[in-house]
């Protein structure tokens, strides 16, 4: 039962263009969402997060959008750079329920120079 889904295993974009990574969730108790980035041979690193009381959070080139009614969030990277090429994981947690993160299966982003 995959509660957090990343339906696109991979995405390829040109340098300078926008990258949009999508994530869907099924558990309506989730109220905090995070994105992690992972390079080969390294552990995932925290990128950006959003609380369910917001619908947008920005940090430099990275913006996360949350649509609670659709149970959907997305990560926008503008402009995309070759160094952004990595696997991106979406994760969620539910306050009051458990103290663990539920991760999606990841999307491999390739930014072409």
Partner 1 sequence: KAGVTQTPRYLIKTRGQQVTLSCSPISGHRSVSWYQQTPGQGLQFLFEYFSETQRNKGNFPGRFSGRQFSNSRSEMNVSTLELGDSALYLCASREGQGATFSGANVLTFGAGSRLTVL
**Contacts to partner 1 by CB under 8 A:** 4, 6, 32, 34, 36, 41-46, 49, 51, 89, 91, 93-106
Cβ closest to partner 1, residue 77 vs residue 94? 94
CB 56 within 8 A of CB 68: no
CB 88 within 8 A of CB 75: yes
Cβ closest to partner 1, residue 14 vs residue 45? 45
Q: How far apart are CA 34 and CA 65, in angstroms?
A: 11
Closest alpha carbon to 82 in 15, 37, 27: 15
Closest distance of CB 106 from partner 1, Å:
6
Closest distance of CB 42 from partner 1, Å:
5
């Amino acid at each position: 039962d995959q509660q957090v889904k990343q339906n696109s295993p991979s995405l390829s974009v040109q340098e300078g263009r926008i990258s949009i990574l999508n994530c869907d969730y099924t558990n309506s108790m989730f109220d905090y969402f995070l994105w992690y980035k992972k390079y080969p041979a390294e552990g995932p690193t925290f990128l950006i997060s959003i609380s369910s009381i917001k619908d947008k959070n920005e940090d430099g080139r990275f913006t996360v959008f949350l649509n609670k009614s659709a149970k959907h969030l997305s990560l926008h990277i503008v402009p995309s750079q070759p160094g952004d090429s990595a696997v991106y994981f979406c994760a969620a947690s539910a306050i009051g329920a458990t103290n663990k993160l539920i991760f999606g299966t990841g999307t491999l982003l390739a930014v072409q120079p």
